[in-house]
Amino acid sequence: MRLQNKVALITGAGNGIGRATALTFAREGAKVVVADLNDEAANNVVAEISRQGGEARCEKVNVAEAEQVARMVQNTVAAWGRLDILVNNAGILSDARLVKMSLEQWQRVIEVNLKGVFLCGQAAAQVMEAQNTGGVILNAASVVGLYGNFGQSNYVAAKAGVIGMTKTWARELGKKGIRVNAVAPGFIATEMVQAMPEKVLAMMKEKTPLGRMGTPEDIANAYLFLASEEASFITGIVLSVDGGVVV
């Protein structure tokens, strides 16, 4: 029960890595806010946590909208009195080569994947500073934010920006006892990825030295470690959980 009595807010928690993280945190004793634009998916996760004896509530949110983010954080504090952990997991894709990418594609991904992380991080940090009891902010980066990727100018720019913000926030918030870290997943077998053609999945496995794709639970376990007191002297890092892809 490494997160006993902690209040954790997880965005994009209706599916994939976010869902796995919500379930893992709940099993470790946290009260979990399952935040997602898809409130049906979020409510399903809340119900699953409840069946397992955990405590959770749902928040429908578009992380790119400041008012919705503020309301989500306010509702969390109103319900449980505090906020200890934020996992900035929400994100989208809209891929195209540079010469074909529309401005709308660029802006949509930047809005959610970069602005959304900023808005949620800012709102959570304000609460955590006021509590004066420390806290943890965990940001979803990506290995592509470290080495780039074909057809993903928007996504790579956002994830590289998230890595930069993570290091900046670690410097700014450290004196308040707030730790800020990022996790950079590699090829992860989420629902979206598993729907890709078999030859693409085979390529992902081939490029991974460990010879398999990661699971959402692999990433959730990394978030759990960084959120726990076991990582109490770790801040400002980018933890690659990628089966060796960066190598």
Place of tokens 């006892």: 177
Query: How does DSSP classify residue 187?
Result: S
Computed on alpha carbons and rounded to an integer, the radius of gyration of the chain in Å comes to 17
Q: How many C-beta atoms lie closer than 10 Å to residue 243's C-beta?
A: 23
Distance CA 170, CA 35 (A): 24
Taking residue 151's Cβ as centre, other Cβ atoms within 10 Å add up to 14
**Rounded CA separation 167/146 (Å):** 14
Q: Is residue 155 annotated as part of the catalytic site, yes or no?
A: yes
* Paired sense of beta strands 135-140 and 178-185, if any: parallel
CA distance 1 to 189: 27
Among residues 25, 80, 155, 169, which one is catalytic? 155
Q: Which residue, among 139, 117, 134, 130, has the nearest Cα to 229 in the 3D structure?
A: 134
What is the 8-class DSSP label of residue 52?
A: T
Q: Structure tokens of 228?
A: 């726990």
- Which residue from 187, 169, 151 is spatially nearest to 238, judged by alpha carbons? 169
Confirm if 21 and 85 have CB atoms less than 8 A apart: no
- Residues taking part in catalysis: 155
